[in-house]
């Protein structure tokens, strides 16, 4: 099923079981896409603060969620003391 179809099922309140499954599927898709964009941002040289600002979260929240999941071959700037 395509993501647009999944979104339609998620928005349809006539079958809550199917809707909840669709919401869970969309959450997995969104998390996967977010990680890919975070990796692209790091490759482009963006800082964790810039990534966090774009996501609308704190730097700490962005780092905690993604730092251990990003491709280890991506060079990440370390925070300056």
Q: What number is the average pLDDT over the span 10-22?
A: 95
pTM of the predicted structure, to 2 decimals: 0.83
Q: Is the pLDDT of residue 80 over 90?
A: no
CA nearest neighbour of 35 among 8, 57, 9, 68: 68
- 19-27 CB contacts, 8 Å cutoff, 24+ apart: none
Question: Residue 77: which pLDDT band, with cuts at 50, 70 and 90?
Answer: low
What integer pLDDT is reported at residue 79 of this predicted model?
59
pLDDT tens for 31-73 read 999 999 999 999 999 999 999 999 999 999 999 999 999 999 9
């Amino acid at each position: 099923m395509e993501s647009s179809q999944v979104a339609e099922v998620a928005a349809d309140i006539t079958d809550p079981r199917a809707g909840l499954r669709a919401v869970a599927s969309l959450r997995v898709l969104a998390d996967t896409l977010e990680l890919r964009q975070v990796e692209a941002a790091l490759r482009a040289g963006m800082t964790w603060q810039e990534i966090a600002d774009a996501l609308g979260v704190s730097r700490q929240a962005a780092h905690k969620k993604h730092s251990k999941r990003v491709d280890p071959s991506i060079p990440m700037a370390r925070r300056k003391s």
